[in-house]
Amino acid sequence: MSRRTEWACLAVILLLAAALRMGWPEITEFKRDEAALYSLALDVAEFKALPLRGIGSSVGLPNTAVSVYLFALPLFVWKSPLAATLWVGLLNTAAVALTYFFMRRYFGGRAAVLAALLYAAAPWAVIYSRKIWAQNVLPVFVVAYIFTAALAFLEARRRWLPAHLLLLALIAQIHYSGLLFLPLTGALLIIFRQNVDGRVLGWGAALAAITAVPFLLYLAQSSGGNMSGLSGLLGRPFQFSLESFQLAALVSMGTEIHSLAGPQEFRNYLATVPDFTGLLWLGGALTLIGGWVAVRRQNISAVTRHSSLLLLIWLLLPPLAFLMHSTPVYPHYFILMLPAPCLLAALAVDNLLTRFQSKLAQVAGYAIPVGITGAQIWLFLALLNFIGARATPGAFGAPLGYLLQVAQAARAAPDVLIVSAGARPQVDETPAIFEVLLRGAPHRFVDGRTTAVFPAGEAWVVLWPMDDALATTAYETLGGVQLQTTVPLRQGEGQVRILAASGAAESALTKLPQPREASALLSNFAEILGSGGDGQVWQLWWRAPEGGEDVTLFAHVLDAAGNRVAQADVPTYPASGWRAGDVVISFFALSGSGVIVRAGMYQSGSLAPVEVLDVSGNPSGQWLEFPRENPNNK
């Protein structure tokens, strides 16, 4: 292969890698974790904060802030989640380029082109290049880590050692699975100690330590809760299983990407594509052959032999390390070994092309990786089209493009109420998403399963489709709102309705089923207006004050003898979203027969009761009583 042909192939491969990783960025997941990481990065880009830690992790210890600062970089240019998404794709495209240069240096141009081609289209490598996730930026750092290991230790280019140690520190802080490389670097330092300069090693160690300073400061400032979480993790019993090798094989071969379509839809996706299982398994077989070649190659330089073994260790280290584990093992733990399977597969094909020189063998040798790549591209593009157009319950979330459409439409409102399943951005997915997408615009959150808010002022109500949305029915039946626009979601997900509310509070009050003879004022200045509902769902109507402390409402059903036969507690929407004059309906699922409902409020944090005030403003009790049945529904 001539140098010109090689460069032309590389250009085409990089265009392919970029298209798969950066094309259609609106078809990407943007759930609570992605929103949380993007929010922290946006704080940095807007010069609002310099965080010492990242988002939480599944192991009980918070992530470090390295990923936050990495994702902040593109946001200095364009403050959009699309910018952060494209940034992930760009870094992973750079990993493909770096893979080529690594392979070319140690294994030649043909092996380099083949490795870059296989890596460019590897399905899981592409999938893990397309969303705002800390571990998704690992590959470019991991390839650079392996490259600098070869330069510093195998070639004795000592000036590369600080870069190697810096990359090790960054990888371990981007995702804790990166700690698996620590023993590898330690072993290389011992085995190739004659190639190590003590002063250079010291400078590299100091540079690596500096990157950990923010997180160390966080640990020093925080309470012992983080250490107890780590102690709890270390105290869990370990178990042995081969699941790590199963997941490593899955990531290596690109199988089971249909899992992104979810348990209800994956068969529908599979019906749209040919069965390429044989080609994917052929790719896995080439990786195994490449591992054999790495061990058995002869008549090569010591550097090339050691580089081959380094590739094999890179491939085997993660699955071997997770044979014993105390926490669940997930496929994304094996991002760490990408693109080692592709490099070994390329090594196998290159070796076969060298050994068999007939024209037929040469055509077949090139056709195999091209065929595997073509099948992988077909499968991925079909999957992208499927998950971008159809609901995938339990799997791929609503694509970012739809979320941005909703946010853009809502920004035109003077005030926005997001009505969805949940009202607290810290724990609930839809509020977490729109907390950051509507940053800078007035907005508040309402859990539509338990609460309906009719604003006193001008506002728009964004109704996110959900099951058991009692608020949706209330808006439809009580009036005071008009349909402003709709944003259709994927097939099977329904649509987001945006309602314009003007005078909605007063309009709703005209339909209050059972108004009290006189409203009751509580000690937090909330005003109880009346009740309603039927035998299944009871309603408490109240008027919100301006702000306050978060409260929970309770409702106890009493029989004629005064015995409690049913009860329910529901949180209100966050008090930070209360606006004076808003009319609120709180819904309670109350079973059992009874004649009286005793209801009131208590503070969510301290559990202290919110007192009922008498006409003089003095506390007179901790609850009010209402008739159980709504006469209008008898």
pLDDT one-digit tens code per residue, 188-218: 999 999 999 999 999 999 999 999 999 999 9
Asked whether residue 227 carries a pLDDT value surpassing 60, the answer given is no
Query: What is the pLDDT averaged over residues 426-447?
Result: 96
Task: Give 222's DSSP letter.
Answer: S
> What is the domain range of residue 544?
512-633
Task: Supply 306's token pair.
Answer: 């050691």
Q: Which long-range contacts (CB under 8 A, 24 or more apart) does 231-238 make?
A: 232/60, 233/59, 233/60, 233/61, 233/326, 233/327, 234/326, 236/326, 236/327, 237/326, 238/324, 238/325, 238/326
Give the 3-state secondary structure of residue 74: helix
Does residue 419 lie within any of the structural domains? yes
pLDDT (0 to 100) of residue 229: 58
CATH at residue 408: 3.40.190
Asked whether residue 59 carries a pLDDT value surpassing 80, the answer given is no
Q: Are residues 178 and 304 in the same domain?
A: yes
Q: Are residues 494 and 559 in the same domain?
A: no
* Residue that has been written with the tokens 């739809």 in this structure: 402
Does residue 460 lie within any of the structural domains? yes
Phi then psi for residue 20, to 5 deg, are -70, -35
Does residue 119 lie within any of the structural domains? yes
pLDDT (0 to 100) of residue 96: 98
Amino acid symbol at 378: W
Residues 6+ apart with CB under 8 A from 525: 545, 548
| Cα 615 to Cα 169: distance, rounded to the nearest angstrom | 66
CA 512 remoteness from chain centre:
42
- Among 451, 476, 507, which residue terminates a domain? 507
Task: Supply 212's token pair.
Answer: 């950990």
Higher-pLDDT residue of 276 and 469 is: 276
Residue 310: name the closest of 294, 292, 288, 287 by CA. 294
pLDDT digits (tens, 9 = 90+) for 380-393: 999 999 999 999 99
* Residue that has been written with the tokens 């929407």 in this structure: 573
Q: Contact 524/601 with Cβ under 8 angstroms? A: yes
Asked whether residue 631 carries a pLDDT value surpassing 70, the answer given is no
Q: Are residues 472 and 558 in the same domain?
A: no
Q: Are residues 112 and 154 in the same domain?
A: yes
Asked whether residue 421 carries a pLDDT value surpassing 70, the answer given is yes
Number of H helices, E strands in the chain: 22, 19
Model-level pTM? 0.93
| Cα 622 to Cα 522: distance, rounded to the nearest angstrom | 9
Q: What does the mean pLDDT of the chain come to? A: 94
Q: Contact 130/21 with Cβ under 8 angstroms? A: yes
Which of 442-451, 467-476, 520-529 is predicted with the least confidence, judged by mean pLDDT?
Answer: 467-476
Q: Are residues 194 and 304 in the same domain?
A: yes
| Cα 445 to Cα 452: distance, rounded to the nearest angstrom | 11
Does residue 27 lie within any of the structural domains? no
Query: What is the pLDDT averaged over residues 557-568?
Result: 92
Give the strands of the sheet with 459-463, arranged side by side. 443-447, 416-420, 459-463, 495-501, 481-488
Q: Are residues 39 and 157 in the same domain?
A: yes
Q: Are residues 536 and 487 in the same domain?
A: no
| Cα 628 to Cα 598: distance, rounded to the nearest angstrom | 9
* Residue that has been written with the tokens 């709709």 in this structure: 486
Asked whether residue 630 carries a pLDDT value surpassing 70, the answer given is no
Q: Are residues 362 and 490 in the same domain?
A: no
| Confidence class for position 633, pLDDT limits 50, 70, 90 | very low
Q: Are residues 357 and 258 in the same domain?
A: yes
pLDDT (0 to 100) of residue 224: 57
Q: Contact 479/511 with Cβ under 8 angstroms? A: yes
| Cα 164 to Cα 170: distance, rounded to the nearest angstrom | 10
Does residue 229 lie within any of the structural domains? no
| Cα 418 to Cα 411: distance, rounded to the nearest angstrom | 12
Task: Supply 616's token pair.
Answer: 């003089």
Burial of 112 (0-12, 13-18, 19+ CB in 10 A): buried
Q: Are residues 194 and 313 in the same domain?
A: yes
Q: Contact 421/466 with Cβ under 8 angstroms? A: yes
Name the β-bridge partners of 588. 538
Task: Supply 114's token pair.
Answer: 């083949």
What Å distances lie between residue 614 and 214, 519, 621, CA to CA? 54, 11, 9
Name the β-bridge partners of 444. 417
pLDDT digits (tens, 9 = 90+) for 283-303: 999 999 999 999 988 788 999
Residue 146: name the closest of 198, 176, 114, 107 by CA. 107
Residue 474: its H or E element: helix 470-478
Asked whether residue 632 carries a pLDDT value surpassing 50, the answer given is no
pLDDT (0 to 100) of residue 231: 62
Query: What is the pLDDT averaged over residues 55-72?
Result: 89
Asked whether residue 56 carries a pLDDT value surpassing 90, the answer given is no
Q: Are residues 267 and 415 in the same domain?
A: no
| Cα 207 to Cα 9: distance, rounded to the nearest angstrom | 37
Task: Supply 339's token pair.
Answer: 């693109």
Task: Supply 623's token pair.
Answer: 């609850």
Asked whether residue 232 carries a pLDDT value surpassing 90, the answer given is no
| Cα 186 to Cα 325: distance, rounded to the nearest angstrom | 22
Does residue 230 lie within any of the structural domains? no
Q: From its phi and psi, is residue 165 left (phi > 0), alpha (psi between -120 and 50) or beta?
A: alpha
Amino acid symbol at 301: S
Does residue 395 lie within any of the structural domains? no
Asked whether residue 535 carries a pLDDT value surpassing 80, the answer given is no
- Among 348, 367, 389, which residue terminates a domain? 389
Torsion angle in degrees (nearest 10) through CA of 392, 398, 400, 404 = 150
CATH at residue 552: 2.60.40
Query: What is the pLDDT averaged over residues 357-370?
Result: 94
| Cα 400 to Cα 132: distance, rounded to the nearest angstrom | 11
Does residue 103 lie within any of the structural domains? yes
pLDDT (0 to 100) of residue 223: 66
Residue 487: name the closest of 458, 462, 455, 460 by CA. 462
pLDDT (0 to 100) of residue 593: 79
| Cα 428 to Cα 279: distance, rounded to the nearest angstrom | 41
How many domains does the chain fold into? Answer: 3
Q: How many other β-carbons are positioned within 10 Å of the β-carbon of residue 562?
A: 9
* Residue that has been written with the tokens 């039946």 in this structure: 477
> Cis link prior to 139 (omega < 30° from 0)?
no
Which of 5-9, 265-269, 336-340, 474-478 is predicted with the least confidence, judged by mean pLDDT?
Answer: 474-478
| Cα 85 to Cα 98: distance, rounded to the nearest angstrom | 20
pLDDT digits (tens, 9 = 90+) for 318-359: 999 999 988 889 999 999 999 999 999 999 999 999 999 999
Q: What percent of the chain has pLDDT over 70?
A: 97
Query: What is the pLDDT averaged over residues 503-527?
Result: 92
Asked whether residue 236 carries a pLDDT value surpassing 90, the answer given is no
- Among 472, 507, 542, which residue terminates a domain? 507
pLDDT digits (tens, 9 = 90+) for 111-163: 999 999 999 999 999 999 999 999 999 999 999 999 999 999 999 999 999 99
What Å distances lie between residue 319 and 255, 307, 345, CA to CA? 17, 20, 18
Q: What percent of the chain has pLDDT over 90?
A: 87
Q: Are residues 333 and 201 in the same domain?
A: yes
Q: Which residues of 240-268 are buried (b: 16+ CB within 10 A; e: fewer)?
A: eeebbbebbbbbbbbbbbbbbbbeebbee
Q: What is the C-alpha R_g of the chain?
A: 30
